[in-house]
Amino acid sequence: MSLSKKLSEIAASPTLALNSKAKDLSAKGVDVVNFTAGEPDFDTPDFIKEAAMEAIRSGFTKYTAAPGMPELREAIAKKLRHENGLDYPGSQIVVSCGGKHSLYNVFQALCNPGDEVIVPTPFWVSYSEQVKLCSSKPVFVGTREENGFRLLAEDLEKRVSSKTKAILLNSPCNPTGAVIDRKELKKIASIAVENGIYVVSDEIYEYLVYEGEHVSIASLGDEIRERTITVNGASKAYSMTGWRIGWAAGPADVMKMIGNFQSHTTSNPASISQKAYLAALNGPRDSIHRMRDEFRKRRDLIVTRLNEARPISCIKPHGSFYVFPNVSACLTGGIRDSMSFSRKLLEEARVAVVPGSAFGGEGHVRISYACSKETIEKGIDRIVDFLKKRS
């Protein structure tokens, strides 16, 4: 009996697959340096955990409103007003089971079969698959290493067609760490407005900017605000990846549709997680600042060390917790591409990285520095040894 044609075309997330392979090896007692993590290595702050425990103790363990508790949607609205210059009523915000879920809902609400969504490369692996799940087509626009992998409006414009429904933006970016500046965002906003295209702005790494500033594209004027859906969540900001809270804010008609859709699919995200995130938003931001300061130090360390690991070269990203070094000069002697480089590195040096090909960035690998400085030093020492043995 044949199964769903649509789902048979969807591949498992390669980042999760490599992470679990590295974890399997570790569980077997192999000393693996794991650079594949897509989550901060800090603990969720205690005051957030406390709010969750209080929710359980007080019996806050039942369904909530499907698009999220009204108080939480109001708290997100307040955060957007104060931090992002965006004014939405709570009714235009839907809370879901993680940013990934929010993005899925947004694409489902926007896209029809045959529509195109422009995705800058290198890109986070789930965008293309989620677009395909709408029977729509991801259309890729390349960025260049010499520009710090920042999307240029002029490159984007060339990919716009009569079928373009939306542009996906991810700043700061996973996997490159690129941050798009205000000037370029203004140009991108003009292209979206002139062509009647939506913008889906994934801002999940907004607090992890080390140079420049984070700008929400929707804040750049009424016209772009009316066609932007901003996606964000608890995972990276508060080290809450396991709690599964994400949200989207955007035009009333789109958000109403998403709320209806969610009411028939997952209903509300976990009531306890919502209470925890409410406490996070109403609480102090010092854990975010501490985490950012620590990530900045680690970024500086890993970039310096990687540039000593010749022939690897690594530009300094402005945000997120990933570097995307160029390993193309290492693709010799039986190593054909970033996938075989990553395999060999895991087998021979016990260092796990994600091949750039998974993100549409062949010739690179993604290294997450969501790990201790000692782990960074140890992993890069092993990479240096690995390269020396091969040269």
Strands (E), 213-339: 228-233, 246-249, 322-323
Percent helix, strand, coil in the chain, to 5, is 50, 15, 40
Cα dihedral across residues 205, 208, 211, 217: positive or negative: positive
Looking at the Cβ atoms of 123 and 341, the one nearer to ligand PLP is: 123
Can residue 241 be called a binding residue for ligand PLP (CB under 6 A)? yes
| Residue span binding ligand PLP (CB under 6 A) among the ranges 29-37, 48-56, 92-100, 278-286 | 92-100
Looking at the Cβ atoms of 98 and 361, the one nearer to ligand PLP is: 98
**Which of 99, 269, 355, 360 contacts ligand PLP by CB under 6 A?**
99
Can residue 120 be called a binding residue for ligand PLP (CB under 6 A)? no
Can residue 170 be called a binding residue for ligand PLP (CB under 6 A)? yes
Can residue 38 be called a binding residue for ligand PLP (CB under 6 A)? yes
Can residue 319 be called a binding residue for ligand PLP (CB under 6 A)? no
Q: Give the whole-angstrom CA distance, residue 325 versus residue 111.
A: 34
| Residue span binding ligand PLP (CB under 6 A) among the ranges 114-122, 156-164, 233-241, 332-340 | 233-241
- What's the min distance (Å) between Cβ of 179 and ligand PLP? 13
Can residue 203 be called a binding residue for ligand PLP (CB under 6 A)? no
- What's the min distance (Å) between Cβ of 366 and ligand PLP? 10
**Which of 120, 122, 246, 355 contacts ligand PLP by CB under 6 A?**
246
Burial of 216 (C-beta count, 10 Å sphere; 0-12/13-18/19+): buried
Looking at the Cβ atoms of 124 and 210, the one nearer to ligand PLP is: 124
> How many angstroms separate the Cα of 359 from the Cα of each of 125, 197, 259, 309, 371?
6, 24, 30, 23, 21
- Tokens 């919502």 label which residue? 274
Cα 106 versus chain centre, distance: 15
Q: Which residues contact 241 (CB under 8 A, 6 or more apart)?
A: 38, 39, 40, 235
Cα 55 versus chain centre, distance: 29
**Which of 79, 100, 165, 305 contacts ligand PLP by CB under 6 A?**
100
**Which of 88, 107, 124, 369 contacts ligand PLP by CB under 6 A?**
124
- What's the min distance (Å) between Cβ of 233 and ligand PLP? 4
- What's the min distance (Å) between Cβ of 95 and ligand PLP? 11
Q: Give the whole-angstrom CA distance, residue 137 versus residue 93.
A: 26
Can residue 174 be called a binding residue for ligand PLP (CB under 6 A)? yes
Can residue 98 be called a binding residue for ligand PLP (CB under 6 A)? yes
Q: Which residues of 70-98 are buried (b: 16+ CB within 10 A; e: fewer)?
A: eebbbbbbebbeeebebebebebbbbbbb
Judged by CB under 6 A, the number of residues near ligand PLP is: 13
Can residue 105 be called a binding residue for ligand PLP (CB under 6 A)? no
User: β-strand 228-233 against 246-249: which pairing, if any?
Assistant: antiparallel
Q: Give the whole-angstrom CA distance, residue 89 versus residue 74.
A: 7
Could you list the residues that contact ligand PLP (CB under 6 A)? 38, 98-100, 124, 170, 174, 202, 204, 233, 235, 241, 246
